[in-house]
Amino acid sequence: MPFNGLHTLEGQSFNPESDSIRNQYYGTQITSTNGPGGGTSCTAPQLSSPSNGQTLGSETINFSWNSVACSHNGWTFRVRADTNFDDPYGNNIIDTGIGGTSTTQTITGHDNLTLYWGVRTANPVGPWTYYSFKIVPGGGTCSSGGGVTLYVDANYGGSCHTFGVGVYPDLSSYGLSQNVSSLRDAGGAYHVTLFDGTGLSGTPGYFDSDTSNLTSAGWNDRARSMRVELHGTAPAAPSGLAASVISSTQIQLTWTDNANNEDGYHIYMWTGSAWVITATLPANSQSYADTGLTPDTGYTLNVCAYNGVGETCASYVTATTLTPPPSNVTATSTASSVTLSWTDNSTQATGYHLYRWVSGGTWTLIQTLGASATTATDSGLQPSTTYTYDVCAYNAHGDSCANNTQVATGTPSAPAAPSGLAASVISSTQIQLTWTDNANNEDGYHIYMWTGSAWVITATLPANSQSYADTGLTPDTGYTLNVCAYNGVGETCASYVTATTLTPPPSNVTATSTASSVTLSWTDNSTQATGYHLYRWVSGGTWTLIQTLGASATTATDSGLQPSTTYTYDVCAYNAHGDSCANNTQINTIAVARSFVAADFDGDGITDIAVYRPSEGRWYIGGQASVQWGTSTDIPVPADYTGDGRTDIAIYRPAEGRWYISGQASVQWGTSSDIPVPADYTGDGRTDIAVYRPAEGRWYISGQASVQWGTAGDIPVPGAYTVVGRADIAVYRPSEGRWYISGQPSVQWGTAGDIPVPADYNGDGITDIAVYRPSEGRLYIYGQPSVQWGTSGDIPVPGAYTVVGRTDFAVYRPAAGRWYIYGGPSVQWGTSTDIPVAEPAALRLVH
């Protein structure tokens, strides 16, 4: 910054930066040489004149003080520009010894400065006493106004003249040498010319802001006749700088102008590494429009007042330009709505604000839309009215708006009539209406129903509706319906339609299943049904009509199904108006354990009629070639030993206690007196080799620990009594007519002479307790009605002869070599000595 200070030049160079407001002098220095005294220390003297802080008009001054009450040899008198009177380096303006209590001294070159004079006793040396004073000679001080001030005479007592910084007058008219015209100011630096003689005479020299050129030119002791004061100041800083974001490319700056000496103002922008001047404004400016900026960009800005001395700045501000506004805004209108479209120019917008203004009102935000929106519709307006809109992209920095768009709504008219009205009968209580919406100015839609004498509105729907579910209707009833678009002008209607509701559907639909069938039951709710349709669906297929039943039907059975399969059914009451269906009913058929199907040699789930002829050791299976496997004393034990769903030909040879299974190695398991009881005891789908030893009442199952269950005389009757697919150990005790199933309570069912014939007679996968009474030719199944089938001498051979997963009762009549299947035809297959292989080996013990 330019130096602002007072300098006196009298034969010695000076540095205006380091010696500000400091007097320099050239003259004789006198220092007292007081020697040691003989007295003790004295007290400080009392100073008289000049008094402390006094201003004097002459450089010749009479100093006086009072004596002290002690013996001493003279006084030491000093004048300094500070109070360090014991300075070991001297630096005194006057330093002299005085015999009396007063002295007159002339002090030059130190006008207008605060000086200090002091006195102490010399011998002995006592403490200092000092006062301050100032010399202000005739002519007074120059004005402190801005500019350069020069005194004419060497004693600074003449007139002074002040010139503005940068002004170059003819100095001769002021009694100054014209050579001083080189005095100037250059942007905060300054240049002064000095002379080595009094009255501005002698050899000139100069300096610029420092003393280097004066020192090198030998000017230390030669400047005697000039005093220079430089009073130039920088302007006062602006305040209250504020930035207002005007648009996506403009920020408006405003501030308070506090200066009265500025040359102008600089606008600065921070680039991230430096402040750059972007505009220069004239003095007294208080605002600036910074334009041509980049949208969605943050800026840091400042304003500084400047002049030749320097510049001062406000506190900087930051602001972010708005996002780009939308463009190409267009508007179309109807009598009650306006639709606006625009081009989206912003990648940083959060969304769009739609504002509306009506004459006499205020701008109102009516919609906030997403960032990708390019259209908006304002509905519910007044016809024949002018509306003004503005579409603004917005984000955290504010709204960036397009120019206002003015549009007038049209003259109202009735809406266009709907077309294509169609009625679909959904149920006994619902009709679905659909139509084409042709109007763009409707308030909504009315649904009408004809009562036989008048049209009645049954529903009111919003604008743009195109369908309606008319519910709560009466079954088996015809309806006439219509739809009409309406607004404040009127309404227009489609062509009406007629439709009849369906008859009531059945309810309370239930289903039960076996391995191969499903039986459904329902409640009949219709008095107008022609009958019932039974539909079935399997995953991956289509709905299929499988039965048509009479009007009074309440049950139906679907047979011939696959085990372990999910089936879905629908029962529908029908008449001329269509099917009226219950909800879909889903059910699984029961899994069939193939290892429990007797004599199924081809794996189709059906028991094959087959005999073993001991005299030949040959197997005769219906529909297949005979097979040689066994001898006359072997016991046939066919079963699915491999788990492939097919019954394997096998025999048990009591003489060896060995099992011979076709296609496999023979297995030693049993003794000559054991009874073979093959069954799937583990539930893994494979028949296990097993024997029952009557003498011990013990079961020996291959791969498992033996189990004690039974006594002598018991008949082994293994079966899936508790779990589908796994055989339980069980015996029938003829003497008691009682069944003993492992892990279950015993059951009384049978009498002496009955033959136990356990099997799954109802298709639920569980073995039923049952006996065949030869004396009556009757089958007794626990929990079911008895069945008369057979005569004395017949052999019971239950099996799944007709339906997969359900056992049919059948007998083999040896005398005729004929099979009699309950509910089916008799079949001739075998001779009187043949063994029907569907009969479990253990049951041969009782006939």
Helix/strand/coil (H/E/C) assignment for every residue in 78-93? EEECCCCCCCCCCCCC
Question: What pLDDT score does 19 carry?
Answer: 29
Residue 490 has pLDDT above 80, yes or no: yes
Residue 30 has pLDDT above 60, yes or no: no
Give the bridge partners for 525, in sequence order: none
pLDDT in tens, 717-735: 999 999 888 999 999 999 9
Q: In sequence order, what are the residues at sequence separation of 6 or more whose Cβ sits closer than 8 angstroms to the Cβ of residue 584?
A: 537, 568, 569, 570
The pLDDT-based confidence of 593 (bands split at 50, 70, 90) is: low
Give the bridge partners for 103, in sequence order: 63
User: Which region holds residue 560: left if phi is over 0, alpha if psi is between -120 and 50, else beta?
Assistant: left
The Cα 193–Cα 179 span in angstroms is: 8
- At 179 the three-state DSSP class reads helix
Residue 190 has pLDDT above 60, yes or no: no
Instruction: Indicate the range of 99-113, 288-302, 387-401 predicted with least confidence.
Output: 99-113
Q: In sequence order, what are the residues at sequence separation of 6 or more whose Cβ sits closer than 8 angstroms to the Cβ of residue 781?
A: 761, 768, 769, 770, 787
181-203 b/e (C-beta count within 10 Å ≥ 16 → b): eebbbeebebebbbbbeeebeee
The Cα 548–Cα 555 span in angstroms is: 12
Which has the higher per-residue pLDDT, 197 or 203?
Answer: 203
The pLDDT-based confidence of 204 (bands split at 50, 70, 90) is: low
Question: What pLDDT score does 664 carry?
Answer: 94
Residue 373 has pLDDT above 50, yes or no: yes
- At 844 the three-state DSSP class reads helix
For the residues 12-30, what does the mean pLDDT come to? 26
Question: What pLDDT score does 706 carry?
Answer: 95
Question: What pLDDT score does 512 carry?
Answer: 84
Residue 156 has pLDDT above 50, yes or no: no
Which tokens hold the place of 738?
Answer: 């009682």
Question: What pLDDT score does 594 carry?
Answer: 55
What one-character-per-residue DSSP string does 224-281 give? -SEEEEE---PPPPPEEEEEEE-SSS-EEEEEE---SS-SEEEEEEE-SSSEEEEEEE
Question: What pLDDT score does 140 carry?
Answer: 41
Question: What pLDDT score does 35 carry?
Answer: 33
514-553 b/e (C-beta count within 10 Å ≥ 16 → b): bbbbbebebebbbebbebbbbbbbeeeeeeeeebebebeb
The Cα 46–Cα 41 span in angstroms is: 16
Peptide bond into 50 cis (omega under 30): yes
94 contacts 107 by C-beta, under 8 angstroms: yes
Question: What pLDDT score does 232 carry?
Answer: 52
Which has the higher per-residue pLDDT, 826 or 138?
Answer: 826
- At 182 the three-state DSSP class reads helix
| CA dihedral sign, ordered 796, 800, 802, 808 | positive
Question: What pLDDT score does 33 carry?
Answer: 30
Which tokens hold the place of 35?
Answer: 């020697």
The pLDDT-based confidence of 137 (bands split at 50, 70, 90) is: low
Is the pTM higher than 0.75? The answer reads no
Which has the higher per-residue pLDDT, 233 or 782?
Answer: 782
Mean pLDDT of the chain: 83
For the residues 686-707, what does the mean pLDDT come to? 95
Residue type, 207: F
Question: What pLDDT score does 345 carry?
Answer: 94
Which domains are assigned to the chain?
A: 31-135 (2.60.40.10), 148-230 (no CATH), 239-320 (2.60.40.10), 327-408 (2.60.40.10), 419-500 (2.60.40.10), 507-588 (2.60.40.10), 594-846 (2.130.10)
Question: What pLDDT score does 659 carry?
Answer: 97
Question: What pLDDT score does 413 carry?
Answer: 79
Question: What pLDDT score does 4 carry?
Answer: 29
Residue 349 has pLDDT above 90, yes or no: yes
Which has the higher per-residue pLDDT, 139 or 740?
Answer: 740
pLDDT in tens, 54-99: 988 888 999 999 999 898 899 999 999 899 998 877 889 999 999 9
Instruction: Indicate the range of 76-80, 192-196, 215-219, 542-546 predicted with least confidence.
Output: 215-219
233 contacts 309 by C-beta, under 8 angstroms: yes
pLDDT in tens, 640-677: 999 888 999 999 999 999 999 999 999 999 999 999 99
The Cα 87–Cα 64 span in angstroms is: 23
Give the bridge partners for 176, in sequence order: none
392 contacts 399 by C-beta, under 8 angstroms: yes
| Cα separation values, 832 from 240, 615, 770, 801, Å | 127, 12, 26, 22
Question: What pLDDT score does 804 carry?
Answer: 84
The Cα 694–Cα 698 span in angstroms is: 7
The pLDDT-based confidence of 169 (bands split at 50, 70, 90) is: very low
Helix (H) or strand (E) holding 195: strand 189-195
What one-character-per-residue DSSP string does 20-57 give? TT-----S----------SS---PPPPEEESPTTEEES
798 contacts 807 by C-beta, under 8 angstroms: yes
709-748 b/e (C-beta count within 10 Å ≥ 16 → b): bbeeebbbbbbbbeebbbbbbbbbbbeebebbbeeeeebe
Residue in 845, 756, 746, 757 with CA at minimum distance from that of residue 807: 757
Phi, psi of 514 (to 5 degrees): -115, -165
| H helix intervals, 95-239 | 212-216
Residue 428 has pLDDT above 80, yes or no: yes
476 contacts 573 by C-beta, under 8 angstroms: no
Which has the higher per-residue pLDDT, 509 or 39?
Answer: 509
